[in-house]
Structure 1
Amino acid sequence: MKEKWPKLGPKYLRSDSLKDVLFKANYGHVAKSIDGSAIPGRSEDEEMGEESCQLCDKTRIVRRKPRDMHVHYGLIASGNQVIKDATFRDRLNRYLGGQVLSVEMEAAGMADNFPCIVIRGIYDYADSHKNTDWQEHAAAVAAAFAKELLQYIQPGDVDRERPVRDILSQVCDVVSTIRDDTTDIRAKLNKKEDAKILDWLTPLDYGPQQSDNLSRRQPETGNWLLQSEEFLGWLAGKKQTLFCPGIPGAGKTILTSIVVDFLDSKCGNDAEIGITYIYCSSGRQHEQKVDDLVASVLKQLTQCRSSLPESVRSLYDQHNAKRTRPSLDEISALLHLSREIEIHANPNDVARYLESHIGQLPSCVQQSRQLQKDITTGILEAVNGMFLLAQLYLGLLADKMTENDIRSAVETFRKQYKGIGEDQKDKVLAHAYEQTMERINAQMPGMKTLAIKVLSWITYAKRRLTTSELQHALAIKTGTSEIDPGDLTPIGDMVSVYAGLVTIDEESGIIRLVHDTAQQYFERSQGPWFPHARTEIATNPNLGSTASCLTYLLFPAFNVDLFDLDTYIEGRKSNKHLYPLLSYCMEYSALHARLASPEPCCVTRFFSSESNIAKNWLLSAAKNGGPQAEATAEWLLERGACINTKDSEWKTPLHHAALNGWKQCVQLLLQREANLDLDSDNMIPFHYAVSNSDQEMAQIFLNAGIPIDLTVRRRIIVGMFQNSRVTYRVLDSAQNPTQNGSLEEGLTSLHLATLTGCRTMTKFLLEQGANPNYASEHGQTPLHLALGQNLYRPQCLGNRDVWSDPDAQIECVLDHARDEEYPSTWKWVDKVRLDIVNLLLEQPGIDINAQDISSVSPLHFVSGNRRASKFIIQRLIEKGARVSIRTNKVETPLHLACQAENMDALGILLTSGADPTECDENGANALHYAVRRKEMVRIIFEHISEETQGALVDSKDKHGRNALHHLWKDYEITEIDSLKLLLELSTGVNELDQEGLSPTATFLSTRVFLNSNEDPEVLRLLFRHGADPSHKTKEGFNLAHLAVRSGRASAALLRILANQKVDVRARDEQGRTALHHSAISGWLTEEVLCCLRDEFQLSTELLDAQRKTPLAYAIKKGQEDHHPDIFERDR
């Protein structure tokens, strides 16, 4: 291309501007400096295109051996969007077996059904640092490879292949199928993710209740509401509310289900119309707070859409990362204009109901049409708009066996309602319930007992029960240790004894009272019907009237460890081991027992038992939570429950109570001197109060006498998956924290707050007297962690705790930020970090020069961080940070600033008196560190005299290397302008280091990331400034030998050497020529081979002292196994 199309060369050929840089996966791209300033020196092209990595921290680059490009053959994944996330990239790679070479889009799916080979030019690392610098060159290389591949295909091979036209029709069919399958898969994946987000909004689901309510509708009833003037006006209007009040039992619930069904059938397919509904119930008050109800409305409005609205997804991303909940203001909207229509039982609807159910009455009714008519007329007059009364009255007639008894009862119904005002209608209902109970009491003893048991459980259960739960509740017997299936009451028999007071929701399996007014009636009048219900439900099955929660919990089946107990609660065991009542008993037994007065004696018996359930109950309640979990925990603590049991993650009840924010429980646990042990995350309970930013909780710990600087030493903990569970073990013997107030080296709560980026708790802890100078076992103070956001970590595969988890730090919000939100989110994170540093620096006794085990000070941290704000550097120096402070490697902040290319730090440090002539343990000064960047060299020179400049350039480190030698160390790319600046001042262009290498020899023997087109110009500059072309190493290698050994050699470079009288044909002490060395090193390219063989007449058959030819070495090298990363182009 360079020869045929020279104008295309600059765009498509490799150049020094192309740098192969890979950042660590957990380090995101930096678009702006910490103070929000723009990138200095950025070109207009860069502003309009991809962002550069000029502000990215070079210390976060993955250090790799120098290598050239190479051809990959293997798995290429297909995708429908560009990947710019290193974490997602690595996760995808692991999911696909760790063998993915690239994710491409243009040929996605083609190779499966079309005879082809996909050739891709890979030009980025699919991370946030993604840019298109390499794109043109990668395209040219891929095209060149494809061209060369085609040259190996024989015409006869093509003739044996099927013609493309025969394949296309098949491919079209396959592509159509793939499109349908992909659409379906994408829809399923989206729906799965959407369902997760919607359940996060609220777990409430009123769909089953809607179906059940509608199923109880009598055909043709409720039409009066749908045809009313008010309803039709509301339906035709905009931004209006139809308010439908009604007396208890009027049928509001059923009518609501009718309206919902009507709207769904009429508008359900219209994407512009949203239909939502809520059924409030006195039995679900704990889950029907205002924010729950509004969240349910939002959930219903979004779940039927083809895709989740971006606003809802954004709300989830915003709060889920921070583990917060959306406020009511974020998910609610105001209600506007309203209409009103009173709900009452329509006479026609009541008549239809009576006519359809009158067949359930005795035979005397079935034989007389006139009696049927009189019953209907009489009940219609008696109910006066209360549909529920019609149902109850009809049930009260079921045991009247003669016509006179029936007429007398109907007349009684009429008289009960006559003269009753609107405010007294609930008395009529109460009387109907009382009559129904009298009918139940008149049943045979066994049926009466069953009815009373069922009603007492349903009335006093703390949540609605399923039929299977109630069956188990009724089946518990004194002296038994498990549920006998023979004791389970058939559901049909339970229904038959209710006399219409109880109903079963078919969709959910919930068994409940027929109406909220029935619940209110029995709660008010429990005395006459089941006076001991509260106590019996909690504790005492002896009377045979109600099941006992505590007796149930003491079943031997639950005498297991916490993990197995959780499997029972969650229903993960096989059917024969399912205990449907267990979840209810674990959550509500304590509440029942607390309401029982006096406290039954079996409570004492329960806690004195040897069952594991008594030991695990507190831990289970704290771990699994629930509406009554906190109250349960408090009750258990008041009765001496075991407080130091641990779950599989080594968390105790105190850990979970702190995590849950249970302040009263934490106080009780601390009063009982609960242990402050480390869990598997190396966290004590106090730490969770800090990580949750819960100041009140933290104050409770401090008030209990817990030292604010209580320390922990992190242990190496690894998790293993065994027997369907994760278990943990410690790999070292680090000590647990002390509880007696004595302090030792370790991490404190202030370390945690500054490390994770918790501004609120940093301020709180400092105000409470936390020591800002307390050092960890590795010597790191909170200021170290605030500046470095990292700590010395135990190195072990699989070891990860809260201290080392990136998701625990404030920067994790960036993982959930959308592209357009990323800059503002970064700015917010930086401000929080800066505020934390300022809080620490404002402490009067702060040790600004504290050093860790590597003698790294805070000033070292910020100087070596390219993103660090210059304001922080200035603040540290103003507070007394020593600019000449040294690490264990005798490095000053100035050394690290030069190493990180931190221009701001470099200027501030030099202005503050930092000495660029100071050396590290290897004798390297600041110029040695900065030498590869002209701008850094210029800044250093601005702060020293001209005389010192020359001396600094020629100064040598302990290895005899001057600034020119350092230009090419560590495989870094050097700016040619920096070389020019140094050569103007240097007199040491031919100085030798301890290895006997001159700067020119160092240049030729050192590899960089990529071959540079500037190499010939560099070599010319060196010779122009007096470099000795006759230089030889101790092994007898001349400059040509060094060039081919390192792979730097090119035809142009060899010609320059020859022009400077370097003997390219020379042999070394082993009789080897440049061709031998090139073959031995593995850097023999076609270009170099042709140049040495054709221009310099070096034969591939020349023998060295070992009687081997270059060809023999090349063959041997080609037979070696090589890691893919060292495979070289054209080698």
Structure 2
Amino acid sequence: MDKFNECMQLEIRASDEDDEIKADIIKAVDGMFLLAQLHLDSLKGKKSLKAIRNALRKLPTGSEPYDNAYKDAMERIGGQLVDDEELAKQVLSWTTCAKRPLTSSELEHALAVEIGESQLDTENLCRVEDMVSDGVDPDAKDDVSKTPLVLAAMYGHDAVVKLLLDTGRVVPEFKDAKYGRTPLSWVAEKGNAAAVETLLRIDSINPDSKGHQTVVELLMATGRVNLDSKDNDGRTPLSYAIAEAQTETIHCLLRYGASPTTTDTQLKGLLHHAIVNVNCTLDIVKKLLMLGAPTDLVDIDNLIDPEDDDADDIYANIIMQRIAVVDALLHHPKVDLKIQDSEGASALHCVPYGKLKFDAIVSMLIEKGAEVSAWNSKKQCPLHLACRRGDYASVQVLLTHGADILYVDQDGLNAFHYAATSKSAETLSRIFEASDTNSLNIYTLRDEAGRNALHHMLAHGANIEEVRLLLDKGVDVKDRDVNGNSPLASYLINSCFYIDVGICRLLLQSGSDALAINDQGLALAHLSASCSKLNIAVLEALMDFGVDIEKLDMKGRSLLHHTALEGSLTETALAFLFDKTKLRSDDRDSSGKTPLQYAVEQARKKRHRSAFDSQRWSRSLEIFMRNEAVAG
């Protein structure tokens, strides 16, 4: 490499974009774009997020292996005769810089070009046989056990494949260590008919294919193909064809007898691969079902990683919004709608509620026998999930087919509690209608933690009209949960970003106890410090209803102590408190600490970068310090 030190150089590096896969690959390759392509290829076939992340964590880093390989190659070339060395470098230059793979004839003519000559001298043509010399091992293996023949096959260089085979010094059936695939399997996948024909002329090859229709036909004609041969992942040619939605190849493989019932090492069947690819046709799904492809397989991703949502064929297809495919599956006699995944979820649980027109799938599933009241592992029924997402149309379908609004999950929440968190007045109204029609009076019901619908609504953020709607229905504003918190207290605790003063006043006007103290000894004023910025308007509203904002909690801490602990102090809030109260930054609690001391402790704490406005504790400390300096 030292020979090129004086040459003109241009550094080319990949652009680091804010994307997890790109970022990990860019970090691993350190600007070597060829290595980036190889890393991307290694992610092919990874269908779950977990599998992709595991692969990304194992990406090799550093350029030393590639530098060494290049250095060794150049040393071998340099050890040849002068003419052979020059020829080798010319071949490398043309094959490296060509915008597409060159044929043998094109390479011969390219090497025959003479600068300054207007015509090509045919006597200057160099035979391709001379381009592979004893100076280079044509069957050498790289650091991942790929031979030149394997690499030439992978990238579709049929001329190079033929050239290597003609040396008689390569092993045609050699399998790469990473995937367990032969050169023939790679050229078959790429659909390179010329290279396939070349390889098929070698008697030592036992053909197997994972490729395009024309290549498959070539291989079928030999009569020596194992249609169901599996690679290191247990994937068959048919599995790959289905995953890539290669319709003609799929029909070809099935016509020659490929098995539709195989499973890979992840326990995925062919229907898994068909349904998750939006390009796979309905005809393929129907054909697989007709040929007996299993419909009740639950793959390993689902068993060990519930977040992957790959439960079985029906659930995967619901997620991919394949209504026509759902219909085909539902009409198959072997499809069991009572199948549940490792989290107890049935097909109705896996519907992405809240998305447009998914009520049609809900109707289809119910009409084919899906259980409306089925539980998952959290004892949630489909109605709970539809209400939580504010999916009015699906709620309507479920209620029409007998879903019970009184049914509670493991935490005691019913459909009303879930609907209260949805921010959908339409969904709430439909639950009200169901309650009133059946005289159920769900408005007073509380969950296992003592929370009513107002607690749930206010804990998830709400607008004043939604709150008024619940109050008009008789939801009790004075109810306290097991921690002694009223709906208003719950609202103050959970409003980290913003507190609507109008909601506070409405709740107080409706009878919320302004003097309430929860089980931790905290009054409403203390709880108001939970917001990232102490809101003066909220303090004024509390004072208007008799709240003593100077009150101490059971540990002797004032509102100022709590602003230091929460990092919510502002200049205007401090000025307001100094003006309207006797609170001061040197007041001591039961342990002898002042607000300033708490502010110092909190500012020194290391917080996760995902914490909202992690600098607010430092700002609160600065405000306290400036006040001390002025007072001093």
TM-score (norm 1): 0.40
Q: Helix, strand or coil for the counterpart of 1:1033?
A: coil
CA contact (8 A) 1:866 1:901 kept: no
**Could you tell me which of 710, 719, 727 is aligned with 2:262?**
710
* 1:781–1:91 distance in 2 versus 1, CA, 3 Å: closer
CA distance in 2, matches of 1:965, 1:979: 10
1:781 paired residue number: 312
Alignment of 1:152-191 (within 5 A): none
CA contact (8 A) 2:184 2:196 kept: no
Query: Quick check: 1:630 aligned with 2:196?
Result: yes
Q: Deviations over 1:138-188 (max 9, x none)?
A: xxxxxxxxxxxxxxxxxxxxxxxxxxxxxxxxxxxxxxxxxxxxxxxxxxx
* Residue from 515, 519, 522 that aligns with 1:1034: 519
Q: CA RMSD in A?
A: 4.2
Q: Tell me which residue corresponds to 1:1025.
A: 510
Kindly provide the amino acid, as one letter, of the partner of residue 942 in structure 1: E
Structure 2 counterpart of 1:363: none
Match of 1:925?
A: 414
Conserved 8 A contact 1:961-1:992: yes
Kindly indicate whether the alpha-carbon contact (under 8 Å) linking 2:318 and 2:326 is maintained by their aligned counterparts in 1.
yes
Counterpart of 1:965 in structure 2 is: 455
Of 599, 612, 623, the residue aligned with 2:171 is 612
CA distance in 1, matches of 2:413, 2:350: 19
In 2, Cα distance between equivalents of 1:89 and 1:1045: 32
Q: Compute the displacement of 1:861 (Å).
A: 2.0
1:1011 corresponds to which of 475, 498, 505: 498
Deviation, 1:692, is 4.0
Cα separation, partners in 2 of 1:696 and 1:553, compared to 1, 3 Å? farther
Structure 2 SS opposite 1:557: coil
The structure-2 alpha-carbon separation of the partners of 1:511 and 1:688, relative to structure 1 and needing over 3 Å to count, comes to: farther
Pair 1:941 & 2:583 matched: no
Q: Quote the offset at 1:88 in angstroms.
A: 6.8
Deviation string, structure 1 residues 910-939 (Cα, Å, up to 9, x no partner): 222111111111111111111032322111
Instruction: Judge conservation of contact 1:863–1:873 (CA < 8 Å) in 2.
Output: no
State the identity as a percent.
Answer: 25
Larger Rg: 1
Which residue of the other structure, out of 737, 754, 759, is the alignment partner of 2:275? 754
Matched, 1:663 2:212: no
SS at match of 1:786: helix
Supply the distance in 1 between the matched residues of 2:241 and 2:522 (Cα, whole angstroms).
67
- Per the TM alignment, residue 964 of structure 1 is displaced from its structure 2 partner at its CA by 1.5
Gaps of 5+ in 1: 1-86, 99-198, 206-283, 285-461, 471-490, 493-503, 515-545, 573-581, 594-602, 644-652, 715-745, 790-829
User: Does the 8 Å contact 1:1100/1:1109 carry over to 2?
Assistant: yes
Q: Which runs of 5+ in 2 are unaligned?
A: 1-15, 28-97, 175-181, 304-310, 621-632
Identify the residue that residue 1077 of structure 1 maps to in structure 2. Answer: 562
Partner of 1:641: 205
Provide Cα deviations, 1:470-524, integer angstroms capped at 9, x if missing partner.
9xxxxxxxxxxxxxxxxxxxx99xxxxxxxxxxx99689784899xxxxxxxxxx
The answer on 1:557 being equivalent to 2:125 is: no
3-state SS, counterpart of residue 162 of structure 2? helix
Q: How has the CA–CA distance of structure 1 residues 1048 and 961 changed in structure 2, closer, same or farther, with 3 Å as cutoff?
A: farther
In 2, Cα distance between equivalents of 1:946 and 1:1115: 59
Shift in CA distance, 1112/618, structure 1 to aligned 2, threshold 3 Å: closer
* Cα separation, 2, equivalents of 1:1057 and 1:1074: 13
Conservation of the 8 A alpha-carbon contact between 2:193 and 2:214? no
**In structure 2, what is the Cα distance between the partners aligned to 1:1077 and 1:1068?**
10
Aligned pair partner of 1:764 in 276, 282, 287:
287
Whichever residue aligns with residue 146 of structure 2, its letter is F
Who is 2:542 aligned against? 1057
Deviations 1:438-492 (A, max 9, x none): xxxxxxxxxxxxxxxxxxxxxxxx845516879xxxxxxxxxxxxxxxxxxxx99
Q: In structure 2, do the counterparts of structure 1 residues 93 and 558 end up closer, same or farther at CA, with 3 Å as the change threshold?
A: closer
2:481 to 993, 1001, 1026: 993
Alignment of 1:381-400 (within 5 A): none
- Which residue number corresponds to residue 12 of structure 2? none
Q: How does 1:202-601 map to 2 (within 5 A)?
A: 463-464=105-106, 466=108, 511=122, 557-561=137-141, 563-565=146-148, 584=159, 586-587=161-162
Distance 1:783 1:614, change over 3 A: closer
CA 1:992–1:935 in structure 2 vs 1: closer, same or farther (change >3 Å)? same
Q: Which amino acid aligns with 1:957?
A: D
1:996-1022, CA deviations, whole angstroms, 9 ceiling, x for partnerless residues?
2222221222224x314xx22112221
Question: Which residue in the other structure is 1:293 paired with?
Answer: none
Alpha-carbon distance in structure 2 between the residues aligned to 1:613 and 1:923: 66
Aligned residue pairs: how many? Answer: 507
State TM-score, norm by structure 2: 0.69
For 1:885 and 1:861, the matched residues in 2 are separated by: 12
* Deviation at residue 887 of structure 1 after TM alignment: 1.0
Which letter maps to 1:612? Answer: V
The change in CA–CA distance for 1:764 and 1:511 in structure 2 (over 3 A counts) is farther
1:1011-1058 per-residue CA deviation (whole Å, 9 max, x = no partner) reads 14xx22112221222211221122221111111244474212112222
Take 1:755 and 1:96, find their aligned partners in 2: how far apart are those partners? 25
Change (3 A) 1:947 1:1114: farther
Conserved? CA contact 2:227–2:253, under 8 Å? no
Say if 1:865 and 1:902, in contact at 8 Å, map to a contact too: yes
* Cα pair 1:866 1:900 within 8 Å, conserved: no
- How much does 1:941 deviate? 0.8
Q: Distance in 1 between matches of 2:122 and 2:555?
A: 96
* Partner residue, 1:343: none
Residue type of the partner of 2:536?
A: A
Shift of residue 854 of structure 1? 1.3
Deviation per residue, 1:102-157 (Å, 9 max, x gap): xxxxxxxxxxxxxxxxxxxxxxxxxxxxxxxxxxxxxxxxxxxxxxxxxxxxxxxx
Counterparts of 1:948 and 1:670, CA distance in 2: 74
Secondary structure at the residue paired with 2:201? Answer: helix
CA distance in 2 between counterparts of 1:1115 and 1:929 reads: 41
Relative contact order, CA 8 A, sep 6+: which one is greater? 1
Q: 1:617 to 1:512 in 2, by over 3 A?
A: farther
- The equivalent of 2:58 in structure 1 is none
SS of residue in 1 equivalent to 2:529: helix
Q: State the one-letter code of the partner of 2:140.
A: V
Code of the aligned partner of 1:689: A
Note the C-alpha offset of 1:784.
0.8
Paired with 1:560 and 1:1086, the residues of 2 have a C-alpha distance of: 72
Deviations 1:1076-1099 (Å, cap 9, x if unpaired)?
A: 111122112223222222112212
The one-letter amino acid of 1:691's match is A
Match of 1:1098 in 2: 583
